[in-house]
């Protein structure tokens, strides 16, 4: 069994795969990672593991990670199942590396655009020949709400709510601007890629994926565990070497 760790700034995700099948998945705070990790190791016969992190790990958790079997710490030098043509590969986020790995694994021989709607919205494009060209990064929903509040004197800080095209109050106007704005951005990017690359498959993932999926006009695959699946694919790829 494979142990997959995705450690973000706010949450840490722990997953267990049997080959390519997800059999266990949980989310915890990074400070509680050590406890959750011990429980997982007690419950499953882990044979190999991979960790992807964008944040600092506390000392206790770091000690536990070093004890994991066949541990791979994902970085720019890790072997991946695609050709990376990003001009600055050492600055490419490990989360984006994992998403592209999932794309080439699940949609072989297709042009794939992966949209990760989280703190930021990232766009990653890989060709049907498994060549990663890059993408784009823009502010996510919460950043947009926060920017309106932080950089103005009187606008309130809001959370995601229902949206109308024409807001008839300040709060509804903010919702319309933020949510319709991000939807039009995503639809526009998809349309640009669709015109340039035929046979385009679009994957939407990330924390805001389910909310956004119902508002987008394009045919997309919405999958919340795409990053975890990509990390597992990278681990398998390295074990097969």
Fold of domain 1-73:
Nucleotidyltransferase; domain 5 (3.30.420)
Encoded tokens for 213: 């999926």
pLDDT of residue 167 exceeding 70: yes
- C-alpha 79/C-alpha 221 separation (Å) is 26
pLDDT at 168: 93
CA 163, CA 107: separation in Å to the nearest integer?
A: 33
Q: What is the mean pLDDT of the chain?
A: 91
Burial class (CB in 10 A: 0-12, 13-18, 19+), 77: exposed
**75-241 matches 1-73 in CATH topology:** yes
Structure tokens at 240: 């097969």
Q: Note whether 105 and 203 are within 8 A (CB).
A: no
Average pLDDT over residues 72-95: 94
Q: What is the CA radius of gyration of the chain?
A: 19
State the pLDDT confidence band at 74, using cuts at 50, 70 and 90.
Answer: very high
Tokens representing 95 are: 């989360």
Q: Catalytic pick from 95, 105, 116, 208?
A: 95
To the query of whether residue 161 is one of the catalytic residues in this protein, the response is no
Q: Please, what is the end-to-end C-alpha distance for the chain in angstroms?
A: 17
Hey, where are the domains in the chain?
1-73, 75-241
What fold is seen in the domain 75-241? Answer: Nucleotidyltransferase; domain 5 (3.30.420)
How do residues 120-152 score in pLDDT, each as one tens digit?
A: 999 999 999 999 999 999 999 999 999 999 999
Q: Which helix (H) or strand (E) holds 21?
A: strand 21-28
């Amino acid at each position: 069994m494979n142990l997959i760790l995705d450690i973000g700034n706010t949450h840490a995700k722990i997953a267990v795969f049997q080959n390519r099948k997800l059999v266990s998945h949980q989310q915890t705070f990074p400070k509680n990672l050590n406890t959750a990790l011990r429980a997982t190791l007690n419950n499953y016969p882990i044979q190999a593991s991979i960790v992807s992190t964008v944040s600092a790990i506390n000392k206790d958790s770091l000690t536990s990670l070093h004890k994991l079997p066949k541990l791979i710490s994902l970085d720019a030098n890790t072997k991946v199942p695609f050709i990376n043509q990003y001009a600055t590969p050492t600055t490419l986020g490990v989360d984006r590396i994992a998403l592209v790995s999932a794309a080439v694994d699940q949609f072989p021989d297709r042009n794939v655009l992966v949209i990760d709607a989280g703190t930021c919205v990232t766009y990653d494009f890989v060709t049907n020949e498994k060549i990663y060209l890059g993408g784009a990064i823009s502010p996510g929903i919460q950043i947009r709400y926060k920017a309106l509040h932080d950089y103005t004197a009187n606008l309130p800080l809001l959370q995601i709510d229902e949206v109308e095209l024409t807001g008839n109050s300040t709060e509804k106007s903010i919702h319309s601007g933020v949510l319709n704005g991000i939807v039009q951005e995503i639809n526009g990017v998809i349309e640009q890629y669709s015109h340039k690359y035929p046979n385009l498959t679009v994957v939407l993932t990330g924390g805001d994926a389910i909310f956004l999926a119902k508002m987008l006009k394009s045919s997309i695959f919405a999958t919340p565990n795409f990053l975890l699946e990509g990390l597992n694919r990278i681990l398998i790829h390295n074990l097969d070497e």
